[in-house]
């Protein structure tokens, strides 16, 4: 794999996430950069947990330590808030009598997975069967969640084409909620079956009618989300999640077998391929050797080469110190790719034209 990781300071945060012992060797100038990169990546609290686990937190220079400590306090508050938010959602949807599946961060926290440590939140994501989507929305509205965006075009766009309702916000708590009925739009390049996801969900112990995706589906969803998204805001944080999920679930005997099999069944071998490739590249995630051949999502060499050029840049924190001359172009191309993967051109082009016209109006 071609590497741009030799760049001295651009990969400081990545290097420390790989090997936290390096934290002992940083001077203050380097700490200045690490803190800024980690803040931009939304990974400051995770860094606190990583260094604490290694027992080197107390040895850090006070200047750096206080930012990590502050981020730690913030993340504890976020997790408490997410638990409360889930409690409210559960209560709002109680009458529906259908399984409510937590996705992403909220699932990691409620299921007490290792990658929950330090995770910050901007919203909660849930998955419900498509048949109850309208009812779910009505119940949520009755309990204070409203659509943020009232523009009729956006509303129609979401409802017709997207795999989720237009984002909701709670009128009192100002918290955001995304209600999904699938993990990709139906028009997308890849076609995972939401019914199969729902059939495999695991109940959350101690919570009535609350579920999380099965371990393999959780990994596949995280991979699909990151590698089909056009705007990669927290690429490294999402890789960090994937890395933690793979390290944790990877201890189970049959996990890797199941993962590859499920990726084929769900038409998600390509995002899984990228997930494994770039978690290994950035975070040295252990992936069993023997399993290498089984990932069938490998693109042809030229595409692989191009994707390396793009993802090696765009997955790094969006901070000037991590950018080179091509980062801007890489992010822009991935933005186009995200849209292109989402829907066919005959739908996409009118949508983008419409959006760009509206941006000019504002």
Partner 1 sequence: MKISDLSKAELCSRLKKGKFCISVGPFSFCIDSHIEEVIEGLGDLYADYELRDHGFADFHISLTRPKGIRRWLHPQVLFLFDGKTPFKPLPFSQALPMMEWGMNWCIANHMHHYLILHAAVVEKNGQAVIMPGNPGAGKSTLCAALVSRGWRLFSDELALMDIDEGTLIPVTRPVSLKNESISVIQTFSPNAHLGKSYADTTKGTVAHMRPPKLSVEHAGHSAKPRWIIAPQYNKEISSKLDTESMAKMFMNLAENAFNYHIHGPRGFDVLGKLVEDCDCYTYTYNDLDKAIDEFEQLVQISSHH
Question: CA-to-CA distance for 235 and 325, rounded, in angstroms?
Answer: 19
Using the minimum distance from each CB to partner 1, give the nearer residue, 7 or 39: 39
Q: Does 80 bind partner 1 (CB under 8 A)?
A: yes
Nearest approach, Cβ of residue 77 and partner 1 (Å):
4
Q: What are phi and psi of 102, to 5 degrees?
A: -80, 140
Shortest Å distance, C-beta 80 to partner 1: 7
Task: Provide the mask over 208-247, with x wherever binding to partner 1 is found by CB under 8 A and - wherever it is not.
Answer: ----------------------------------------
Q: Which of 4, 15, 22, 32 binds partner 1 (CB under 8 A)?
A: 32
Beginning with the edge strand found earlier in the chain, give each strand of the sheet holding 176-180 in spatial order. Answer: 145-147, 168-170, 176-180, 124-127, 100-103, 210-212, 202-203
Q: Does 73 bind partner 1 (CB under 8 A)?
A: yes
For residues 185 and 167, give the distance between their C-alpha atoms in angstroms, rounded to a whole number: 15
Other CB atoms within 10 A of residue 73 CB: 11
Size of the site for partner 1 (CB under 8 A): 23
- In this structure, the strands spanning 210-212 and 202-203 are antiparallel
Count of beta carbons in the 10 Å neighbourhood of residue 62: 7
Q: Is 52 in the site for partner 1 (CB under 8 A)?
A: no
Selected range binding partner 1 among 22-30, 236-244, 248-256, 268-276, rule: CB under 8 A: 22-30
Among the listed residues 28, 300, 325, 362, the single contact to partner 1 using CB under 8 A? 28
Q: Which of 71, 111, 116, 307 binds partner 1 (CB under 8 A)?
A: 71
Q: Check residue 39 for interaction with partner 1 (CB under 8 A).
A: yes
Residue 310, token pair as written in the block = 């793009």
Binds partner 1 by CB under 8 A, chosen from 10, 60, 67, 339: 67
Is 40 a binder of partner 1 (CB under 8 A)? yes
CA 184-124-183 angle, 5° bins: 10
The contacts of residue 2 (CB under 8 Å, 6+ apart) are: 305, 308, 309
Cα torsion 155, 84, 239, 37 to 10°: value is 100
36 binds partner 1 (CB under 8 A): yes
Q: Is 69 in the site for partner 1 (CB under 8 A)?
A: yes
**What are the strands, taking DSSP E only, across the chain?**
100-103, 124-127, 145-147, 168-170, 176-180, 202-203, 210-212
Residues found in the chain = 362
| Shortest reach from residue 69's CB to partner 1, in Å | 4
Measured from the CB atom, is 67 or 262 closer to partner 1? 67
**Per rule CB under 8 A, is residue 342 in the interface with partner 1?**
no
Does position 61 interact with partner 1 (CB under 8 A)? The reply is: yes
**Choice from 63, 134, 231, 324 touching partner 1 (CB under 8 A):** 63
Q: What are the φ/ψ torsions at residue 8 (nearest 5 degrees)?
A: -65, -60
- Using CB under 8 A, list all residues that contact partner 1: 27-29, 31-32, 36, 39-40, 61, 63-64, 66-67, 69-71, 73-74, 76-77, 80, 319-320
């Amino acid at each position: 794999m071609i590497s741009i990781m030799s760049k001295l300071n651009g990969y400081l945060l990545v290097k420390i996430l790989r090997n936290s012992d390096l934290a002992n060797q940083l001077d203050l100038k380097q700490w200045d950069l690490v803190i800024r990169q980690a803040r931009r990546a939304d990974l400051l609290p995770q860094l606190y947990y990583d260094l604490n686990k290694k027992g080197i937190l107390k040895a850090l220079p006070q200047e750096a330590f206080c930012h990590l400590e502050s981020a730690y306090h913030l993340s504890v508050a976020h997790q408490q808030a997410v638990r409360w938010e889930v409690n409210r959602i559960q209560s709002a949807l109680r009458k529906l009598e259908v399984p409510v599946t937590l996705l992403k961060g909220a699932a990691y926290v409620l299921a007490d997975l290792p990658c929950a440590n330090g995770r910050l939140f901007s919203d909660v994501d849930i998955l419900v069967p498509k048949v109850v989507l309208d009812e779910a929305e009505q119940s949520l509205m009755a309990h204070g969640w409203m659509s943020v965006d009232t523009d009729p075009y956006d509303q129609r766009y979401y409802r017709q084409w997207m795999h989720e309702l237009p984002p909701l916000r709670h009128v009192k708590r100002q918290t955001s909620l995304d209600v999904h009925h699938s993990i990709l739009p139906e028009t997308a390049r890849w076609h995972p079956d939401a019914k199969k996801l729902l059939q495999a969900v695991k109940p959350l112990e101690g919570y009535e009618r609350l579920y999380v995706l099965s371990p393999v589906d959780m990994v596949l969803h995280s991979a699909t989300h990151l590698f089909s998204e056009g705007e990669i805001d927290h690429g490294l944080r999402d890789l960090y999640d994937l890395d933690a999920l793979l390290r944790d679930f990877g201890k189970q005997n049959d996990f890797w077998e199941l993962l590859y099999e499920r990726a084929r069944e769900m038409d998600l071998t390509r995002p899984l391929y990228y997930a494994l490739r770039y978690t290994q590249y950035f975070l040295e995630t252990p992936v069993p050797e023997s399993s290498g051949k089984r990932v069938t999502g490998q693109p042809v060499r030229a595409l692989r080469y191009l994707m390396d050029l793009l993802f090696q840049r765009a997955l790094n924190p969006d901070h000037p110190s991590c950018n080179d001359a091509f980062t801007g172009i890489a992010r822009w191309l991935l933005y186009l790719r995200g849209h292109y993967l989402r829907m066919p051109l005959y739908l996409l082009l009118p949508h983008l034209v419409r959006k760009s016209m509206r941006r000019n109006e504002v």
